[in-house]
Amino acid sequence: MNKNMFLLWDADPTALHDEALHAALRDAGVHHLQLNVDDEPVAGAMRFGQFETPVRAIVSTWDADPAAVSTALADVGRVHGYRVDERRRLDPPEAWDGSRADALANVAILRRPADLPREEWLRIWMVDHTPVAIRTQATFGYVQNIVTGAVTADAPPIDALVEELFPSAGITDMHAFYGSGGDDDELNRRLTELMASVARFGAGENLELVPSSRYLYALA
């Protein structure tokens, strides 16, 4: 299936759940809708980034007209979209009923360092780093999205988006986030291993981290 992901700035999180918007998206050919929204349940989570205005939501659609989707989303906030190649490394639990997943869903927006060739960057991230990320954190969902092109004009250049699901307790508890069982030494060991791996493909800088609530809707 063809997947597109849309970044929204200046968006009202509640507007993304509005039935009128969903009807417009349905008319655009959206049958399944994923919302990752920086809303009240994740207010206490860590967030950072390089954009002057933070990304407030990421909307994912499959096999729909990206131009029509971006037009519908423009009523909610400033929007740019990307065509992606999805790789599901750890399938998250899914219920397509519009309910909030019991999770902290972090979306990292990645940019490739200019001095690292694309194929090598992908290899380090997808082959070397992924097992490290999964074993050093309490991850129970891990979805990688490689950007293959923009679907809106003048979209800021990015190279990938990765969604990782963590226990909800991880919003405020680092031990819950990293799965270190309350052991400070183990937490530090996991952090050290993870950060060393992250640095190898440039993900320790020049990226966005968007904490989110995850909602799935079946619109058909």
* Domain range 3-218, CATH class: alpha beta
Q: Where are the domains of the chain?
A: 3-218
Task: Give the global pTM.
Answer: 0.96
Distance between terminal CA atoms of the chain? 16
In 3D space, the residue among 212, 74, 89 whose CA is nearest the CA of residue 144 turns out to be 89
Angstrom distance (rounded) from CA 58 to CA 108: 11
Q: What is the pLDDT along the chain (220 residues), one digit of tens a residue?
A: 899 999 999 999 999 999 999 999 999 999 999 999 999 999 999 999 989 999 999 999 999 999 999 999 999 999 999 999 999 999 999 999 999 999 999 999 999 999 999 999 999 999 999 999 999 999 999 999 999 999 999 999 999 999 999 999 999 999 999 999 999 999 999 999 999 999 999 988 889 999 999 999 999 7
Residue 3 sits at φ, ψ, to 5 deg, of -110, 135
CA distance 92 to 163: 10
| Token pair for 135 | 């074993």
